[in-house]
A and B are shown apart, each in its own frame.
Chain A
Amino acid sequence: MSELTFKIIFIVAVFGISLFVAMYTTYAERKLAAFLQDRLGPNRAGPFGILQPLADGVKLFFKEEFIPRVSDRLLFIAGPAIFMCTALMTSAVIPFAPDLEINGTTYAMQAADLNVGILYLFGVVSLGVYGILVGGWASNNKFSLLGAIRAASQNISYELAMGLSIVSLVMVSSSLSLRDIVDQQSGWAWNILYQPLGFLIFIVCAFAETNRAPFDLPECETELIGGYHTEFSSMKLGLYLFAEYIHVFISSAVLASLYFGGYQFPFVSDLDPGPVKTLLGGLVMFAKTGFFIFLFIWIRWTLPRFRYDQLMNLGWKVLIPLAVLNVLITALFILF
């Protein structure tokens, strides 16, 4: 199998897995929300409601496709598309499993090993806000516009703190490639042990970047109806909602690989390279990712939404100074 064939198969597989995980994250969200509120959740479609995401998807496809007359038609259609594309593009640099060695050929379980992987990730994630902004602007609706503006300012504010928390991580691992960062964390040497404060800042920012509760101000129902997706219907709305879950999946995978060792696990790291190691490593990676997805959902159904000024206060006056402090402390540790 040539390198190219493998890459194509791998990319299609990652694409499929992203969609599949996102699909079942919607199910997990509904089910967990119900459990946390002493309810049963969807349990009619299939055993334990396992086919519910399919039913939801079919329902969204059959909904009336409505484009407001006063909206900017082209941008209105482009908005969800941009949002979805950027959400899917982020998975390219995530190493999902250790290298696979068959007959002397090495297959990397990563779509692209960029030496600036983290920067790529940041670039694509910040492109994602254009999807929201374009969609909200094109709707020609005050609520949508307000939601879009909130999304933009929120992302800008929190990207700074996120970037600074990553700076200290990069200082520790002295590499921007996600693969190198994961490879350095073999066994128990996870970055969370060296960067607890950085992890805290990063995870708070990850919640804000994915527009999830308690930072879901861009779509906060009580003030803005639906925020940036107020005017969207049918599968366009579906794309917006779905892309959010892909963001959750990717954020969880990034959190797992940056701070929790990705596919590294004490006994798995010591195995000889081969299919077994790849398989176990992949499972470890998905278990960690799954835990973070659970955390995302758990937090959403625990914490109430922040007020907008509280959000900005937290971003600018707390997280950024903390992140700078973290960089300084890390620098001092490296120096001495």
Chain B
Amino acid sequence: MMQQAKTLTNRAKLMPRKPLTFSERIYLPAIFKGMGITLSHLFRKKATISYPDKVRPMSKVFRGLHVLKRDERGAERCTACGLCALACPAEAITMTAAERKPHEKQLYREEKYAAVYEINMLRCIFCGLCEEACPKAAIFLQNDVMAPPSFEREDFIYGKDRLVEPFQKN
């Protein structure tokens, strides 16, 4: 007979252990039941998505890698106002403004443009506040591209070469 331990509260309830039935004791029905369960899993749909070959469908509002948009003529929309950098809670955005030269009119939409525009993807938390802050609809977070991995820290500082949308003629 087991000594009953002193209980801390008076709510403890003693649960008598029922003796095992014969079918439980011979163990085999339980084994076959378990085998049935595992066998049913054999034909079940797999949870895995073989990632590089297949990509999980992303939400429409997914916030991935940034892109700096161009306007309909192909000129960069960003005017280097710095509101995105100000809005950024992670302080991931830095930029240097420059004045547009007369012959650069088709390159930049406004008179002021970002000569350097860098986002540190290691700092960025992809909150999308830059997108909300932008008055010129210049920066967006894509919903189908993610920042790729790299072994070097420097690779995560994205300059204009990787952020600006490629020029399309249409």
Q: A residues within 8 Å of B by Cβ? A: 32, 35-40, 43, 298-299, 301-303
Q: Which residue of A lies closest to B26 (CB)?
A: A318
A298, B32: Cα distance in complex, Å: 11
Query: In the assembled complex, how far is the CB of residue B126 from the closest CB belonging to chain A, in whole angstroms?
Result: 29
> Contact: A303 with B39, CB < 8 Å?
no
Q: Is the CB of B55 closer than 8 A to any CB of chain A?
A: no
Query: In the assembled complex, how far is the CB of residue B24 from the closest CB belonging to chain A, in whole angstroms?
Result: 14
Q: A299-B35, A302-B34, A303-B31 are in contact. Are A39 and B42 (CB under 8 A)?
A: no
Q: Select one of B35, B45, B46, B50 contacting A298, CB under 8 A.
A: B35
> Contact: B48 with A39, CB < 8 Å?
yes
A223, B47: Cα distance in complex, Å: 31
Interface of A: prevailing SS: loop
> Contact: A38 with B44, CB < 8 Å?
yes
A40, B46: Cα distance in complex, Å: 7
A40, B42: Cα distance in complex, Å: 10
Residues on the B chain within 8 Å of A43, using CB: 50
- Interface set, chain B 30-67, CB cutoff 8 A to A: 31, 34-35, 37-39, 41-42, 44-48, 50
Residues on the A chain within 8 Å of B34, using CB: 302-303
Q: A299-B35, A302-B35 are in contact. Are A35 and B41 (CB under 8 A)?
A: yes
Query: In the assembled complex, how far is the CB of residue B120 from the closest CB belonging to chain A, in whole angstroms?
Result: 33
> Contact: B35 with A37, CB < 8 Å?
no
Which residue among A299, A302, A303 has the maximum number of chain B CB atoms within 10 Å of its CB?
A302
Residues on the B chain within 8 Å of A36, using CB: 38-39, 41-42
Q: B residues within 8 Å of A by Cβ? A: 31, 34-35, 37-39, 41-42, 44-48, 50
A298, B37: Cα distance in complex, Å: 11
> Contact: A298 with B38, CB < 8 Å?
yes
Query: In the assembled complex, how far is the CB of residue B55 from the closest CB belonging to chain A, in whole angstroms?
Result: 16
Residues on the B chain within 8 Å of A40, using CB: 46, 48, 50
Query: In the assembled complex, how far is the CB of residue B106 from the closest CB belonging to chain A, in whole angstroms?
Result: 48
A38, B37: Cα distance in complex, Å: 12
Query: In the assembled complex, how far is the CB of residue A81 from the closest CB belonging to chain B, in whole angstroms?
Result: 36
A40, B48: Cα distance in complex, Å: 6
A50, B20: Cα distance in complex, Å: 46
> Contact: A35 with B42, CB < 8 Å?
yes
Ranked nearest first, the 10 interchain pairs of A and B with the lowest CB-CB distance are: A40-B48, A302-B38, A36-B38, A302-B34, A38-B47, A35-B42, A36-B41, A302-B35, A40-B46, A39-B48
Q: Which residue of A lies closest to B32 (CB)?
A: A302
A194, B31: Cα distance in complex, Å: 23
Q: Which residue of A lies closest to B25 (CB)?
A: A318
A84, B50: Cα distance in complex, Å: 36
Q: Which residue of B lies closest to A39 (CB)?
A: B48
> Contact: A38 with B46, CB < 8 Å?
yes
- Give me 9 other A-B pairs in contact (C-beta within 8 A), A36-B38, A302-B34 excluded: A35-B41, A35-B46, A36-B39, A38-B48, A39-B48, A40-B46, A298-B38, A298-B39, A302-B38
Q: Which residue of A lies closest to B39 (CB)?
A: A298
Residues on the B chain within 8 Å of A39, using CB: 46-48
Residues on the A chain within 8 Å of B41, using CB: 35-38
A-B contact pairs, 30 of them (CB 8 A): A32-B42, A35-B41, A35-B42, A35-B46, A36-B38, A36-B39, A36-B41, A36-B42, A37-B41, A38-B41, A38-B44, A38-B45, A38-B46, A38-B47, A38-B48, A39-B46, A39-B47, A40-B46, A40-B48, A40-B50, A298-B35, A298-B38, A298-B39, A299-B35, A301-B38, A302-B31, A302-B34, A302-B35, A302-B37, A303-B31
A38, B45: Cα distance in complex, Å: 7
